[in-house]
Amino acid sequence: MKYVRFHTITIISGLLLVGACRPAAPPVTPQPATKPAVKPIDLTPRVVPQPASLTRGTGAPFVITATTGIVVDAGAGQVQPIGETLAMLLRKSTSFPVLVSQAGGTAAPGTIRLRLANDRQSLGEEGYELTVASDSVVLVAYRPAGLFHGVQTIRQLLPSAIESEIGLERDWAIPALTIADQPRFPWRGGMIDVGRHFLTVREVQQFIDLLALYKMNVLHIHLTDDQGWRIQINSRPRLTAVGSLSQMGGGPGGFFTQQDYTDIVRYAQARYITVVPEIEMPGHSWAALTTYPELTCKPRPPDPYTGPDLGWSALCPDKEVTYAYIDDVIKEVAAITPGPYLHIGGDEVASLSDSQYVKFIGRAQDIVNKYGKVMIGWEEITKAKLKPATIAQMWKSDSVTAALSYGSKLILSPATHAYLDMQYTPETELGLHWSGYVEVRDAYDWNPATFAPGLTESNVLGIEAPIWGETVRNIGAVNYMSVPRLPALAEVGWTPQAGRDWDSFRSRIAAHAPRWRYLGVNYYPSPQIPW
């Protein structure tokens, strides 16, 4: 309420000055009319990722009050839920009613207006334009995803307390400004590994919330590994009945029913995030092989595996039963995945010959395509002949030349910058360090378009931040490994290179810590950030 109070005091001091002119009045000390009664709140925008263009206005801020409403375009069915999302965020912390209404024409003063504009194609699939003045907030996009991202910007322009679950009294002010924003790359992802340690549906949704706050648009779920199988396959019930009962280091494991998975997909869709399921093959497949030992080339006792070794297990590329099995699995996973992609892993296969591996990847690619999906695999798949639409995910070395020779685009997840399962420093408890330590600045300071010879702005599809699950057992650990590195990588993927600056990032992200505390998000208090 400080802005209201400020105006009230200005008026009162004006009255006092008027009063001072009357002869009978006692002497009063004139008050400077413009001096605020209270320290003004800091309205510096600290948006992450940094918008492509942001111009501060000179006028007063927009202040959300008990009469503020949200107006959405009449007839645009996808705008209403985005308006409701914003209203729900505002209602819980402000305790104001924040009504959402549909209207055409110009919005009444004091409203936040969300509008889809057919003639703003230049904003692309995810861009938006935000204009904030003292009497209105106008958010325009060409597509709903742009409106959703713009709402995240409005959220970050408001005080951190906007994230509170209980009503608080604050100056709910948004600084006057104009933002024109759209992402640098179309793919900005995070990956979680429920194969090593299972996470619940709610935990996965909490990770989705974090992705959404930082305008990321892909959730890659690594659903199977040597240590556990985590997705129900109706035609192969033993995969979960047997293969889900283990996890790394021992413990109960777990799995998602197809309904659970659909709940995750829907939750992500409502936040304009595409779910990419990964069914790991031919390696990292021991949990499946304990239930179908006939699918190995070299049988061994089908005991659950809970250790850390990798590279040793593989489906047998020389047996037709192997392809019948992956057909069954891919068919069902494709059917419950509305997004266009299916990830087959393909990494770290030490127990097959190159010719066996190449044969397997070619057959897997055909099966993924048969069920209408684009295949993605870790960079090792570039040993096989890829179709141009197939996507390689780089993580360690120079697979760029091979990928580009097929016309494939690349997702960049270099372990030295983007692996969120690496320790921040030797002192941080969780994580591994086989690719080195990844402090926040390491996650931030690299340029995807020049990262390796042959890469350009247009053959990079985007970036993705994997959190492998060896040491990560719950959402508290996921968040600690993600924050603040995931926001740093979100900015790598979103903001034009010329608009990125480490000193700017570190001062902006420092201001997000109170927001994470309201949200209950655990984070690493890096000494590189001026908290």
Site for ligand ACM in 444-503 (CB under 6 A): none
Task: Name which of 63 and 452 has its Cβ closer to ligand ACM.
Answer: 452
Provide the minimum distance between the beta carbon of 339 and ligand ACM in the complex, in angstroms, as a whole number. 20
User: Which listed residue (84, 125, 348, 470) is catalytic?
Assistant: 348
286 counts as binding ligand ACM under rule CB under 6 A: no
x/- letters, 499..528, toward ligand ACM (CB under 6 A): ------------------------------
- Judged by CB under 6 A, the number of residues near ligand ACM is 4
CA 453 to chain centre: 28
Q: Which residues contact 77 (CB under 8 A, 6 or more apart)?
A: none
Provide the minimum distance between the beta carbon of 456 and ligand ACM in the complex, in angstroms, as a whole number. 23
Task: Name which of 129 and 347 has its Cβ closer to ligand ACM.
Answer: 347
347 counts as binding ligand ACM under rule CB under 6 A: yes
Site for ligand ACM in 389-428 (CB under 6 A): 395
348 counts as binding ligand ACM under rule CB under 6 A: yes
- Classify residue 354 as exposed, middle or buried by CB count within 10 Å of its CB (0-12, 13-18, 19+): exposed
| Two structure tokens written together for 289 | 């092989």
Provide the minimum distance between the beta carbon of 347 and ligand ACM in the complex, in angstroms, as a whole number. 4
Provide the minimum distance between the beta carbon of 526 and ligand ACM in the complex, in angstroms, as a whole number. 23
Task: Name which of 395 and 516 has its Cβ closer to ligand ACM.
Answer: 395
CA 270 to chain centre: 13
CA 447 to chain centre: 19
Task: Name which of 413 and 526 has its Cβ closer to ligand ACM.
Answer: 413
Choosing from 378, 444, 480, 505, the residue that interacts with ligand ACM (CB under 6 A) is 378
* H-only helix segments in 217-352: 238-241, 258-269, 286-291, 320-335
Task: Name which of 129 and 278 has its Cβ closer to ligand ACM.
Answer: 278
- How far is Cα 365 from Cα 367, in angstroms, rounded to an integer? 5
405: left (phi over 0), alpha (psi -120 to 50) or beta: alpha
- How far is Cα 127 from Cα 112, in angstroms, rounded to an integer? 18
CA torsion, ordered 267, 268, 272, 273, to nearest 10 deg: 180
Residues, the chain, total? 531
Provide the minimum distance between the beta carbon of 489 and ligand ACM in the complex, in angstroms, as a whole number. 16
Query: Does residue 343 sit in helix, strand or coil?
Result: strand
Task: Name which of 111 and 413 has its Cβ closer to ligand ACM.
Answer: 413
Query: Minimal CA–CA distance to 3: which of 50, 47, 71, 63?
Result: 63
Buried b or exposed e, range 305-338, using 16+ CB within 10 angstroms: bbeeebebbbbbbeeeebbebbbbbbebbbeebe
Provide the minimum distance between the beta carbon of 165 and ligand ACM in the complex, in angstroms, as a whole number. 37
Q: Which residues contact 301 (CB under 8 A, 6 or more apart)?
A: none
Instruction: Check if 348 is active-site.
Output: yes
- How far is Cα 407 from Cα 137, in angstroms, rounded to an integer? 43
Site for ligand ACM in 70-89 (CB under 6 A): none
Provide the minimum distance between the beta carbon of 372 and ligand ACM in the complex, in angstroms, as a whole number. 25
Provide the minimum distance between the beta carbon of 263 and ligand ACM in the complex, in angstroms, as a whole number. 27
Cα three-residue angle 280-282-288, rounded to 5 degrees: 65
Task: Name which of 163 and 347 has its Cβ closer to ligand ACM.
Answer: 347
Residue nearest to ligand ACM (CB): 347
Task: Name which of 146 and 282 has its Cβ closer to ligand ACM.
Answer: 282
Contact 225, 236 (CB under 8 A): no
Catalytic residue numbers read: 348
| Interface residues toward ligand ACM, by CB under 6 A | 347-348, 378, 395
